[in-house]
């Protein structure tokens, strides 16, 4: 194996580049909005118009038809299910986050 000699020549016409002292500035990225607090989310779910309408309709129907002792617990149970649905719904969270901006 023959040894080859490599010679490097410096091109004198090239200008040296000094390293920059500071790194390039980063763009300020706004922080994503924080998710709404659980209390705010629960309050919004309790005041959801659909949930309140279901509660009102069931209570009125129970009073009009007679068996109030059956209608009130049923109305409260269906209302609680609607509140839970609203509380877990990502759209409710999105709506509260958008309203808070």
* Predicted pLDDT of residue 13: 58
Q: Specify which of 5-14, 18-27, 75-84 reaches the highest per-range mean pLDDT.
A: 75-84
* Predicted pLDDT of residue 81: 97
* Predicted pLDDT of residue 33: 58
What are the structure tokens assigned to 101, written together? 């901006």
- 62 with 71: CB under 8 angstroms? yes
* Residues in CB range of 76: below 8 A, 6 or more apart: 55
* Predicted pLDDT of residue 2: 58
**Could you read off the pLDDT of 30-83 as tens digits, one per residue?**
666 567 788 899 999 999 999 999 999 999 999 898 888 888 999 999 999 999
> Who has greater pLDDT, 97 or 86?
86
Torsion-angle region of residue 32: left (phi > 0), alpha (psi -120 to 50) or beta? beta
Fill in the DSSP letter of residue 101. -
Q: Delimit the domains of the chain by residue range.
A: 38-100
């Amino acid at each position: 194996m023959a040894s080859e000699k490599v010679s490097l020549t410096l091109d004198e016409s090239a200008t040296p580049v000094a390293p920059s002292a500071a790194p390039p500035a980063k763009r300020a990225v706004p922080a994503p909005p924080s998710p709404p607090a659980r209390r705010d989310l629960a309050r919004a779910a309790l005041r959801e118009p659909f949930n309140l309408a279901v509660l009102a309709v069931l209570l009125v129907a129970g009073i009009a038809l007679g068996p109030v002792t059956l209608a009130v617990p049923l109305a409260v149970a269906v209302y609680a299910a609607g509140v839970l649905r609203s509380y877990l719904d990502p759209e409710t969270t999105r709506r509260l986050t958008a309203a808070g901006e």
